[in-house]
Amino acid sequence: MAVVGETTLHVVKWYDNHPVTLLSDYIEASPVKEVERWDRKQKVNIKVPCPAVVKEYNKNMGGVDLLDSLIALYRNKIRSKKWYHRLVFHLLDMTIVTAWLLYRRDCDGTGIRKEEQMRLYTFKSYIAEGLCKSGKCLDRKRGRSSSTIDNEYMEKKRRGPTAAIPISDVRLDATAHWIEMSDKKGRCKVPGCNGTPKVKCQKCDIRLCFTSTSNCFLKFHSE
């Protein structure tokens, strides 16, 4: 026992399967109660004395032990010499595990079966993928050559009349270019392509090939 300022601190060391040391400012070893433990030599359960502070800890700290064990399953492995980086990564792991536990509780409340719920690994993977890809714009290629859409379109225009295409600022803005299916086929607007797709860009209002062998939709919005 020690007194720090006006606070009395109790340090208790209990020998269970391994030594357990606890520090408390409101409860001490007494009253000592008995708990059951398995005796390997006698191969029976025996009664052993257990301090009050240990009983109190086991009663109220089960959630903390569960949280720590779940964090340890898929801990962030990023290494850093800066101590605050390790603190931030630990807080991130703790937040994700807490969110997963809330997700499980919500699933149980809505009647979703355990086998249909996401496991912690899957839950954490989804969060990582969402943080990495959400809101990410498609990068425009650097060092644009004479084979880009604009130059090919201008070359085609010099040879004769051709339908207009959106300006490059709109075509390459990587925003709201949704695929839409049309009832009728139309000529693909990528120069050099002779396809007649039904797929069209909702924003640009032009038809573009979108198949396993010809992805003019991606080419048109990235070159």
Task: Give the residue from 93, 92, 84, 15 showing the smallest Cα distance to 50.
Answer: 15
Summarize the confidence of residues 98-112 as an average pLDDT.
Answer: 92
For 140-150, the pLDDT digits (tens) are 555 444 446 66
pLDDT on residue 142: 54
Read off the tokens for 188: 């693909």
Mean pLDDT of the 104-122 span: 90
What is the C-alpha separation between 158 and 162, in angstroms, rounded?
A: 9
Q: Which residue has the tokens 């005796």?
A: 39
CB 191, CB 163: distance < 8 Å: no
pLDDT, averaged across the chain: 81
Q: Which has more confidence, 161 or 89?
A: 89
User: Does residue 121 register a pLDDT over 80?
Assistant: yes
**pLDDT tens per residue, range 179-214:** 989 888 998 988 888 899 999 988 888 899 998 888
Residue 202 CB neighbours (<10 A): 10
pLDDT of residue 20: 81
Place of tokens 């029976």: 44
What confidence score (pLDDT) does residue 161 get?
A: 66
**What global pTM score does this model have?**
0.47
| Owner of token pair 């396809």 | 195
- Residue 135 or 120, more confident: 120
pLDDT digits (tens, 9 = 90+) for 9-52: 888 888 777 788 888 877 777 888 777 787 788 888 878 888 88
